[in-house]
Amino acid sequence: MAAQKEFDGIETVLEESLKDRNYEEVRRILYGRAFPVLELSQKAKDLAVNGNFELKAYSVSAQAEQLRAPRRVRITAIQNSIVLATTAPVCQQRKALHEKISAMIEVAALAGANIVCLQEAWTMPFAFCTRERLPWTEFAESAEYGPTTQFLSQVGKLSQKEEKLSANKVYVEAHEDFVLFAVV
C-alpha cells in the first residue's frame, strides 16, 4: 500500500479540489479578500525548502496617512513546531528550537523583513497545556537576561549586518496579568 501524502492544510486541499472561481469565492468567504503574492529570492525559497518550513509573502496595503510619508514594512510571522522529543533534556530542546528559529529568521532577513514576530512560549513544547510541573517549569527564563533573549539579540545583530533586521534593545514591561516582551 502506498504511503499517504501528508496533509498540508485546508488551503491546499481547497485549492487542489475546487476550480478557479469556486476556490477564489470560498477563500474570500473564509479569509476575506486575497492579497497579491510577493516575489521572493530563489535563495530564500531554497533555504525554506532545505529547512523544511513554509515560506509565503503577501502585499497588504494600508490607507495613506496625512502626516507621514508611506513606508514599506515587511513583517514576518513565525509559527514553529518542536524539534526534539519532549523526553530530551530541556537544554537540548531549547537549543534545537533556537537553531530552527535562527534559520527561519535568516530567511526572513533575506526576504527583507523589518519585524519578526514569534508565538508566545515558542521555546518550549507544551507551555501550559499539561498538568505536570516538571520538566516544563524548567523552561522558564528571565525575559531580560535569559538564554532566549541573548539568542535573539545575537540573531538580530547578525541579521542587522545583512541590513535587514535589527535587534539591539530589549523592552520588558511587567503587568499584573502579563509581561510584554520585545526585542527592538
Choose between 86 and 160: higher pLDDT.
86
Instruction: Rank 41-45, 80-84, 142-146 by mean pLDDT and report only the highest.
Output: 41-45
pLDDT at 66: 95
CATH 3.60.110.10 fits domain 39-61+70-183 = yes
| pLDDT surpasses 60 at 33 | yes
Q: Which three cell numbers stand for residue 171?
A: 523592552
| pLDDT surpasses 50 at 163 | no
Choose between 133 and 167: higher pLDDT.
133
> Which is nearest to 146 in space by CA: 84, 85, 94?
94
**Tens digit of each residue's pLDDT (9 = 90 or more) over 61-105:** 889 999 999 888 888 888 888 889 989 999 999 999 999 999 998
Domain ranges of the chain: 9-35, 39-61+70-183
Q: What is the mean pLDDT of residues 172-180?
A: 50
- Banded model confidence at residue 34, pLDDT cuts 50, 70, 90: confident
pLDDT at 144: 77
- Banded model confidence at residue 159, pLDDT cuts 50, 70, 90: low
Q: In this structure, are residues 114 and 75 in contact, taking their beta carbons and an 8 Å threshold?
A: yes
Q: Which three cell numbers stand for residue 115?
A: 519585524
SS (H, E, C) the chain: CCCCCCCCCHHHHHHHHCCHHHHHHHHHHHHCCCCCECCCCHHHHHHHHHHCCCCCCECCCCCCCCCCCCCCCCEEEECCCCCCCCCCCHHHHHHHHHHHHHHHHHHHHHCCCCEEEECCCCCCCCCCCCCCCCCHHHHCCCCCCCHHHHHHHHHHHHHHHCCCCCCCCEEEEECCCCEEEEEC
Choose between 164 and 149: higher pLDDT.
149
User: pTM higher than 0.75 for the full model?
Assistant: no
Q: In this structure, are residues 168 and 153 in contact, taking their beta carbons and an 8 Å threshold?
A: yes
Q: What is the mean pLDDT of residues 38-60?
A: 90
